[in-house]
Structure 1
Amino acid sequence: MKYYIVDDSLSVVKILNRIVEEQGLGEVTGISTDPEKALKEIILEEPDIVLIDYLMPQMDGISLVRQIREVKPKVNFIMISQVSDKEMVAEAYQVGVHFFINKPINLIEVISVLQHINEKVNLENALGGIREIIQVKNVSEKKRSADTNKKGSGSRVKEIKYLLGILGMLGESGTADILAICEERLQSHTTNVKEGIALYCGKKAEDPKMVKQRIRRAVKRGLTNIAAMGVEDYYNEIFQNYHYVVFDFESIRAEMDYIRGKRKDGGKTNIDKFIEGLLVFSEVK
């Protein structure tokens, strides 16, 4: 994992640098106390994760994040701040900050936050890899089995049920459909979600539109529940650990804005990506 650290305090930069490398959390590929210099270097180097100070004299952290995301939207950000104001947190989240570290720097907190964001990046990379595999033709069943059957299907279904429970979806009728599709995909050692939904609907002799409608309602419930946790308390442990697993940033942000009354519609749901996310989570968990 490649890190870049920008803070107007050199001592803070050195502390964070040492924690990242001594704890084996990644490689620090760049540091800076100058946000304008950092902007150029981050765009050029494109690190996986940027630790960025909120209050800096030349440019505040939110402005810097906004400029970087315009050019490099895949970079992940951790905001370093002494400020815990909810409006600041909301603004930071709006521009793309997912995690926060409080000043003064606490070793345990930093390690915990960095481990969480490393898991997020690894999960996103794994999802990307699976999507590439799905698009590639003539992949042998033997290779796909080796890639997807590292854990028994029963154990992986338990992991999926656990996550669905965390999202408050177990009471939804569409959740049973989701579990059945996931279980079938795990047993057949394939992650082709579209094919899985079609086969499932065929076996049940149900209209695919009706099945997808049930699933979409269940997924929407999960999105609403996790977004509500973030609105109530951005530092909520469940929200911090799981909001990025099966929902994309834009959907979570839109749903949070809808709950706050800032927009007329909420986040969009994507059934295929949601189920893909569950399958990857069950493997890497």
Structure 2
Amino acid sequence: MKFYIVDDDVTIIKILENIIDDKNLGQVVGSSIDPLECIEDIILKNPDIVIVDLLMPKSDGIEVVNNIKKRKNDIKIIMISQVSSKNLIEQAYSSGIEFFISKPINIVEVVKVIENVLEKIKMEETLGRIKSMFSDLDINKSEKLKSNEIEKIRFILSKLGILGEIGSKDIINICQYLLDNKERMFNYKVSEICEKLSDNPKAMEQRIRRALNKGLTNIASLGIEDYMNDDFIQYSNSLYNFEDVRLEMDYIRGKNSYGGKVNIKKFIEGILLHSEC
């Protein structure tokens, strides 16, 4: 993935470049200390992600975001700032940014946020292929209903940033089995349903647990960035136990030595209920 950084502080630009390079997150294709002159360079170099400071001498980051979005709406934008004003942060999200990172820069936080945005880009590409595939299917009404539910499940998994995980395929297979047989997850032990669907049920359960743990980290990171985010509010308690989400948030912040746990049965039951809405 390609990155472009806009910040009037050259030191911040260098720090972000080093993080992106050291963590193998992608390639920085350009940077600028001038918010007024950077737009054309950004459009020319066509990065996947732009990291922009909120407050700069000649112009604010929100104006930069608006100008980018007018020209290239598909570019993802991460904003950084020392500002803690809720109003300004809300304006930033309204302008179309993906995440807001508070200064001083925390390496763990920056990496998590960038990984989430990278995952979102990949999932949007996957969803586009999925929607295209489903649009070409000619199936009867009952089959369409099931397909719509599975598509909703895929969409939710993509919002959690885990659709690309191998364990997500196992989750979808379990949901498909339960839908086909008009059953609920609470009627099974996790090991029992894995035995029905896999020759290696223990490995299947481990894959699912890894995927859900990644989803827990992603939803906790989202809550750190924006506690009032709709996805965070909707999924932090319906797919996970909120106490575990809070533990994961504290772990990411470095306030705890351990994070939250996942409950496979609760997650699958919860995602099935969401798919029926």
1:241-273 C-alpha deviation (Å, 9 max, x unpaired): 979xxxxxxxxxxxxxxxxxxxxxxxxxxxxxx
Query: For 2:32 and 2:105, how far apart are their aligned partners in 1?
Result: 17
Partner SS for 2:130: helix
The one of 226, 229, 248 equivalent to 1:234 is: 226
Aligned counterpart, 2:262: none
Query: For 1:240 and 1:6, how far apart are their aligned partners in 2?
Result: 31
Q: Against the structure 1 CA distance between its residues 154 and 117, is the aligned structure 2 distance closer, same or farther, given a 3 Å change threshold?
A: closer
Q: Against the structure 1 CA distance between its residues 47 and 242, is the aligned structure 2 distance closer, same or farther, given a 3 Å change threshold?
A: farther
State the shift of 1:134 in Å: 4.5
State the shift of 1:13 in Å: 0.2
Q: TM-score, normalised by structure 1?
A: 0.52
State the shift of 1:129 in Å: 2.6
1:198-240 C-alpha deviation (Å, 9 max, x unpaired): xxxxxxxxxxxxxxxxxxxxxxxxxxxx9xx98xx82469629
Aligned counterpart, 1:155: 171
Query: For 2:108 and 2:21, how far apart are their aligned partners in 1?
Result: 15
Spell out the pairing of 1:144-223 with structure 2 (5 A cutoff): 154-157=170-173, 180=179
Aligned counterpart, 2:24: 24
Identity %: 40
State the shift of 1:107 in Å: 0.8
Query: For 1:132 and 1:19, how far apart are their aligned partners in 2?
Result: 36
State the shift of 1:57 in Å: 0.7
Query: For 2:74 and 2:96, how far apart are their aligned partners in 1?
Result: 10
1:131-161 C-alpha deviation (Å, 9 max, x unpaired): 3445679xxxxxxxxxx9x769653255x7x
Amino acid at match of 2:76: N
Note if 1:53 corresponds to 2:53. yes
Partner SS for 1:35: coil
In structure 2, stretches of 5+ residues that fail to align are 138-163, 183-218, 237-270, 272-277
Q: Against the structure 1 CA distance between its residues 11 and 134, is the aligned structure 2 distance closer, same or farther, given a 3 Å change threshold?
A: same
Q: Against the structure 1 CA distance between its residues 153 and 21, is the aligned structure 2 distance closer, same or farther, given a 3 Å change threshold?
A: closer
Query: In 2, are the aligned partners of 1:99 and 1:240 still within 8 Å (CA)?
Result: no
Query: For 2:105 and 2:83, how far apart are their aligned partners in 1?
Result: 13
Query: In 2, are the aligned partners of 1:234 and 1:240 still within 8 Å (CA)?
Result: no
Note if 1:62 corresponds to 2:65. no
State the shift of 1:52 in Å: 0.2
Query: For 2:171 and 2:6, how far apart are their aligned partners in 1?
Result: 42
Q: Against the structure 1 CA distance between its residues 127 and 242, is the aligned structure 2 distance closer, same or farther, given a 3 Å change threshold?
A: farther
Aligned counterpart, 1:113: 113
Note if 1:43 corresponds to 2:43. yes
State the shift of 1:23 in Å: 0.1
Query: For 1:108 and 1:134, how far apart are their aligned partners in 2?
Result: 38
Partner SS for 2:88: helix
Amino acid at match of 1:73: N
Query: For 2:28 and 2:170, how far apart are their aligned partners in 1?
Result: 39
Amino acid at match of 2:226: Y
Aligned counterpart, 2:122: 122
Q: Against the structure 1 CA distance between its residues 23 and 242, is the aligned structure 2 distance closer, same or farther, given a 3 Å change threshold?
A: farther
State the shift of 1:105 in Å: 1.0
Partner SS for 1:12: helix
Query: In 2, are the aligned partners of 1:79 and 1:101 still within 8 Å (CA)?
Result: yes
Q: Against the structure 1 CA distance between its residues 107 and 77, is the aligned structure 2 distance closer, same or farther, given a 3 Å change threshold?
A: same
Partner SS for 2:70: helix
Q: Against the structure 1 CA distance between its residues 154 and 22, is the aligned structure 2 distance closer, same or farther, given a 3 Å change threshold?
A: closer
Query: For 2:113 and 2:42, how far apart are their aligned partners in 1?
Result: 21
Amino acid at match of 2:48: D
Aligned counterpart, 1:78: 78
Partner SS for 1:3: strand
State the shift of 1:32 in Å: 0.9
State the shift of 1:21 in Å: 1.2
What RMSD in Å do the two structures reach over aligned CA positions? 3.9
Query: For 1:152 and 1:77, how far apart are their aligned partners in 2?
Result: 27
Query: For 2:12 and 2:233, how far apart are their aligned partners in 1?
Result: 24
In structure 1, stretches of 5+ residues that fail to align are 138-147, 161-176, 184-225, 244-277, 279-285
Q: Against the structure 1 CA distance between its residues 32 and 88, is the aligned structure 2 distance closer, same or farther, given a 3 Å change threshold?
A: same
